[in-house]
């Protein structure tokens, strides 16, 4: 069991550019979550998938954000036309629905928008 992995670990981009992050969950975990964490705050929920289906999206997820999990395995989170306010740590987590309830987190992708 290799744990949740996220790539890249760090991303620096200029305002207005598009960025994409990848998350690989623990194998056999059918749920995958995305959170955003800003400095000094707890993580805030963005969206989650059960298998391929996106079951819930937060109001925080503006139309510049899109997430996919096309084959029910890895997921990507894309931010279009990045803004300085998008600078944050983006965390991915996975779980098995109805079995363990806890979520296992990856190391995160730190985004800096200049």
Describe the chain by its helix, strand, coil percentages, rounded to 5.
Answer: 5, 50, 50
Instruction: State the residues that interact with other proteins by CB under 8 A.
Output: 4, 31, 33, 35, 40-45, 48, 56, 91, 93, 95, 97-98, 101-108, 110
Contact 93, 106 (CB under 8 A): yes
Q: How far is the CB of 83 from other proteins (least distance, A)?
A: 23
Cβ contacts of residue 48 below 8 Å, gap of 6+? Answer: 31, 32, 33, 34, 54, 55, 56
Q: Which is nearer to other proteins, 12 or 81 (CB)?
A: 12
Q: Which is nearer to other proteins, 18 or 97 (CB)?
A: 97
Q: How far is the CB of 15 from other proteins (least distance, A)?
A: 23
């Amino acid at each position: 069991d290799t744990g949740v992995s996220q790539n890249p670990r760090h991303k620096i981009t200029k305002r207005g550019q598009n960025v994409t992050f990848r998350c690989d969950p623990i194998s056999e975990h059918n749920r995958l979550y995305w959170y955003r964490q800003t400095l000094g705050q707890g993580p805030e929920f963005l969206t989650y998938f059960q298998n391929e289906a996106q079951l819930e999206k937060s109001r925080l997820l503006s139309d510049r954000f899109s997430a996919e999990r096309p084959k029910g395995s890895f997921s990507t989170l894309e931010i279009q036309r990045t803004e300085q306010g998008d600078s944050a740590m983006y965390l991915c987590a996975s779980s098995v629905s109805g079995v363990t309830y806890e979520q296992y987190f990856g190391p995160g992708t730190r985004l800096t928008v200049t």
